[in-house]
A and B are shown apart, each in its own frame.
Chain A
Amino acid sequence: MKNIVYICSLFFLFSCTERTTGDKTSGKPLIITTTGMIADAVSNLVGDSAQVIALMGPGVDPHLYKATQGDLERLQKADIIIYNGIHLEGKMSEILEKLSKKKPVIAMGDGISKDKLRVLDKDAMIYDPHIWFDVALWKEAVDAMSKTLAAKYPQLAKTIAANKVSYVSKLDSLHAEVKIQMASIPVKQRVLITAHDAFGYFGLAYETEVLGLQGISTVSDFGLNNVTNLVNLIVDRKIKSVFTETSVSDQSIRAVLDGCRQKGYNISIGGSLYSDAMGDAGTPEGTYVGMVRKNVHSIVEALK
C-alpha cells in the first residue's frame, strides 16, 4: 500500500511540470515577452530572424498574471526577456528581477522618458503602465527597443533597422487614422467608460474623456461609491454606451448598466474592447494594429 502511494505521488509530481518542446532547435535567438502587444511589436522588428513568444495569450489579464512552473522553464530558455514594465506585470516583478541577473530582461517602458508618462502618484513614483494605448508613445518605445535589440544582435542590426522603418511608418499612419476617427465623435459624446482605468493614454492622445470603474489595476477593488458615481454621471450626461474589456470580468459594468436602467436610462454595451490583451492569434485583432483599429471602430460606432 505504501509503495503505491509513493509511486502515485512521484507520478503526480512529474506530470505537473510542463514540458516545452524544443525551442532552441532552430538556433535562432529566442525572445520571450510578457504581453501579446510586445510580442507583436518585437515580431515586426525581427521578422523571421528570431523566435518570439508571448507568455500571456489573448484574454489574459497582465495585472493578475502569476507565472507558473512551466512559464519559468520557458523563461529560463529565453535569450532575451522583454516585459512592459511600469508595474504592469504586478505579480511577476520578483521573478523578472531574479531572471535579470542571468540574462537580459528589458522593459518596453524604459524606452519612454518619464516625463511622457501619466503620473498617478508623484511621491510614490507610480505611473500609468498602459503605454500602448497612445500609438505615438508606443512607437517611441518600439523605436527604442529596436536600437536595444540591434545592439544585442549586431548581426541582425540591418534587418531590424529596415523592419523598423516600415513598421514605424505603419504606426504613424495608424496614429493619424485614430486621431481622425475619434475627432469624428462630437465632443460631448466623446466619453469612454470601461471596466478599469486602462485607457488613460488613449484619452490624452486622442482628446477623449476616459473613466474606469476599477482603478489603474484590476487588483484593486471597487465599491458602491464608484458604481453609484458612475451611474449618476452616465445618466446626467446622457452617455450613449459603455464598454467591457476582453481581459476583465464584465460584472462591474453590468452593475452599472443595471443601475442606469433602474433610473430609467437605457444604455447598452458598445462592445468589448481589447485593453490589456489582444485578440486571438491569426485574426486581425491578434495584431497590435488590428486590435487598435477594431477598438476605435467599436468606440466610434457606439458613441457617434
Chain B
Amino acid sequence: MIEHVQNPILEIHDLTVSYSKRPVLWNIDLTIPKGVLAGIIGPNGAGKSTLIKTAMGLIPKASGYIKLFDQDLEQVRKKVSYVPQRESVDWDFPASALDVVLMGRYGHVGIFKSLREADKEVALECLRKVGMESFADRQIAQLSGGQQQRVFLARALAQDADLYFMDEPFAGVDASTEKTIIALLKEMTAKGKTIIVVHHDLNSADEYFDWILLLNTRLVASGPTQKVFTKELLQKTYGGKLNILSSVGDLLHNEQFPNRE
C-alpha cells in the first residue's frame, strides 16, 4: 500500500543505501505530501534513521535519487531542518542552551558574519515555544534528557524551515515533555510546515501522525494513517526480515559486490 501524491514535498526514487556493500535500504520509492506530520515506523535496524540521514545528504546513496521541493538538497538547504538523535552529541560541551539554539541561525547569517541581536531574539522565542526560556543560560550538561531534546527542537525551529526531519525526538523523554512537543509539532503542520519523524513507539503512532511510512529495510507501506496503520501491514513490517532478501544482502557484503552495474 504505497500512495503517491502530486507535487510531493519529498520524493524518493529507487533509493538503495548500503553499509559496506550490505544494503540497509532496498529500492525505496515514495512521495510525501506537503503539510503532513509523518511518522516513520519500523523495528530496530529497519533503516529509519538511515533514510532521513540520506535525505539530509549525510550518507551516500548506492542508487536512486531524493528530491525535496522537487529540487536537490543543495538548492533548498535553507528550507530544510534536521534534528539528530540526542546521543549523537557529547553534551559535556561548554555551551549554554541558548548557544545551541543560536546554531540554528548560522544558516541564515552566513559563514563570515557574526550573529545579530535579532538572531538572539529568534533563539529565545524558540526556547519559549518549547518551554525552555528559563534555561537559556544553563549549561547543556546540566539539562535532563527531555530538556536536551527540547533544546534540539528549538534549534531546528530557529532555522525557520518548511520541512523538518526529526530522528527519534521522543526517545528518553518524559510524558509531559512528549505532550508539549507533539502539540508544538501539530501547531507547526497546521501552519503548513511538513514534519517527518522517526518514531520508536507503535502505540502512539496512529494518534500522532497523519501520514505513516512502514519501513523494514524495504518500504512496506506509505500513506495516510487510516489506510496504512492496519493489522496486516503492521504484521508485515514487524514480522521479521525477508529471508531471501537478507541472504542476498549478506552475499553482496561478503563479495563486496557493487549494488548497481
| A and B in contact, CB less than 8 Å | no
Interface residues of B (CB under 8 A from A): none
Interface residues of A (CB under 8 A from B): none
